[in-house]
Amino acid sequence: MSVRALIRNPDDLTEFLLVRRATIDTYDAGLWELPGGKNDTNEDARVGVKREVLEETGLSIYHEVLLDYHQFMIETNAWITTLIFAAQAYHSNVVLNHEHDAFIWTNLSHVSDYSLSSTSDGFLLRRF
């Protein structure tokens, strides 16, 4: 299972965060997604989403509310289930790790302007 977060910008609540997978990545390189990743074994989903967001963006989040889930198939024909949480960030100063090479705070009306990763496209395009 994996977890992702729809994080609202504390400086402009109409915006949320997208991160772009590093172009050197072997999976969905250069595509945009919600921050998040795989849960550790036996890890609570809320703990996992907080950890993943902090690792990838340097943002601490709070008020995580389960919003939806998204399922997609990966190259090995395995199905992945992703839990999507809505969350707030304490600040908007993003510091990316090596997994991503860009970020943008955008609003939902512009989602279709970005080439989205399979980790996030079904949720974002279906919901918004």
Helix (H) / strand (E) element for 2: namely strand 2-9
pTM confidence score: 0.91
| Residue 62 main-chain phi, psi, to 5 deg | -145, 170
What is the residue extent of each domain of the chain? 2-127
Q: How far is CA 60 from CA 42, 89, 115, 118, in A?
A: 21, 6, 26, 25
Q: List pLDDT tens digits, range 74-115.
A: 778 888 899 999 999 999 999 999 999 999 999 988 988 999
CB 116, CB 20: distance < 8 Å: no
Q: What percent of the chain has pLDDT over 90?
A: 71
The per-residue pLDDT for range 38-75, each reduced to its tens digit, is 999 999 999 999 999 999 999 999 999 999 998 877 77
Residue 1, amino acid: M
Q: Of 111, 119, 97, which is closest to residue 2 (Cα–Cα)?
A: 119
Ranges of H-type helices in 32-93: 45-57
Domain 2-127 has CATH 3.40.50.720: no
Angle at 92 between CA 89 and CA 96, to 5 degrees: 100
**Structural tokens at position 95:** 């510091």
- Which whole-number Å values give the CA distances from 3 to 12, 24, 104, 109, 113, in the listed order? 24, 22, 19, 23, 23
Which amino acid appears at position 8 of this protein? R
